[in-house]
Structure 1
């Protein structure tokens, strides 16, 4: 065999704290024995593979050591300071399991001796320690506006580089941080039921490990609450139909709700047939150990005739808007007409006065008759217009009664419309009467002046004695 019997050692030589003292001694002795040997004439390779090079603290790794040596049962072995057991072996390979790995970093040596030549391959095992993250909440059950301290932390990891994140449900999550995370939260109503957890991650090579603490729920207690959405302050019901008093409260602990009308209990949320007697004010009271909230609810009951009456009144109000505008225009036209008639009346009176010179007393009697007829017709027109005004006022009052019973918000607009229309009509009528009387007074004054001018002078006025006592010439 000659020089093929032994050769210089080739392969892997390790130094450092990871190799045991016994391993160093074995390699030193092997080197002393093999130094005098000559060169090997056989070429082969040694490989070692494992199911994982990173394992949790106290974990297990399965290694397979193989060689391309043509000597089927060449001497082989695996050197390590870790606990090991041979699983199986065959021609050119051997399988070994490493157990209870607690050393942070270990190098495992696999060797084969092929025709006296020894080669070594190394496998590095990283035993990481990834502790469980923890979450603490100072007051898991707190009251509204109280401060709560929340902390996310973990023991040190191996290798270093553990990062934490405080996770909250239904919220944008914060960035990962090294070291413990603390949060001071002022508890509010919307924080009730919020879930928190402490997340941790550790990067090992090209993979990232993650763990999470158990989820903790924050409970916030607060007084009962009611608003316009949960308990509307004004509700409309219809007579004969099944209606429900809409009112509910929320709080923590869950409040107890009681509603009553005239001190008689009336459960909310229970359908029942409606009568007119259900109209009125209801008081709803929500109570829990932290306090009490009271809310008033006004219920309006509408019946079929009432609904029709409201529709009629609303339609009548719309008509009044149109009639009010038209009536105002009519009053303006009437006033303009009265001015024209007044001018024409003056002209007629002047003509009548000229005719009186001819007709004398007969003409004067005819004029009086005509004036009396005009007065009678004017009185009839005024009475008819006042009657129409009274009808409008009565309808307006009826509308006020109907609307006031069902919707007080419409009472003021209806009242204003009626007052405005009545004021316009009364003003137009009053102005017409005033204008007519004024024209009559002017006419009588002119008639008296003309009468005085038309009377002949009395006898004896021109025969008055002179101052000198003589006779006239």
Structure 2
């Protein structure tokens, strides 16, 4: 069994016969070269490579010498369970009870003119007694504190590495070049000084103990962690809104995100009025809700502010019309034949509205000018009537109208009405005249009869 564990006899179980034969030939050739060219070799292997005090250990000493005389001796009082063969000795320790464990392996190769080779290996022995000294429960920002880590007992002492990690990042690593004494319990310390910051709040710091196995490899044996808590002023005051636009009649909610310890108090300032709470809800936005909103977050260590300017979006309203720079108040506007007439439409709305005029007829000498302006260069009868202005943006429409009357111009209908009126009066007057004539004639006849 032990020969198969030897580096020269590692043969995978899945290897085919050809590969096995090739492996055997290569091994025999390597053995022949070692024994006949380079001389014999001596190895000491331990399993595990570093052992915890009280755990079991297996030590194997082997050689390439074909005819060796092997000796493996420990200091007095150490008695392993041993098995051996011609070129190997295996010692088993059910429980390691000594901090100083040196394995000296001496081999005299009788087939190589009694040459002597000795190997010695110091087995690293450790325990897991690691202790960290925590800082105060709550740290103040910008103040310096010490994180202390006392490592476990390890011999040789120079095999121990103590590392402070911030999360997974190494911040400080220490070791010593001194082997120390196996009879003294002198621990390695790693003291890390940190200046507390807001980012340390909730941050985990870990002290990791490892033993050096050589060849740039280590074995973690124990660790301990502490989570920091810090007091710090607010680091941000960020205002957010639920709706992209402030639309008249729609709801809007503002929230202010604050980070700090202790948790900051959040307040809002709008038009010199103060509101408290992380959220500010407006169920129905009105024009008066426009303006600047200031969020202020405060704790005992400081404060921070952030602001947002609200611009209200709303449909056109209060649309008005002026004629020749005079605002229309609702009664008809009289202009004279041949006058120049300029009608201007104005409205309130956000975003700005577009304008559309609706005229009673399409005059030959009227034109639109700047937005909302309709100009009649020379008024005629065809310009008589009601003019409508329609203002529109993405949120709605509003309109107004004006009645334009052109003086000095009689239409056929009005002329006919006047003629009809004169005719009716003339007929009535003639009828009255005839009635009176008949009446007086009858009176005269009656008078004559009475005289006769």
Alignment TM-score, normalising by the size of structure 2: 0.43
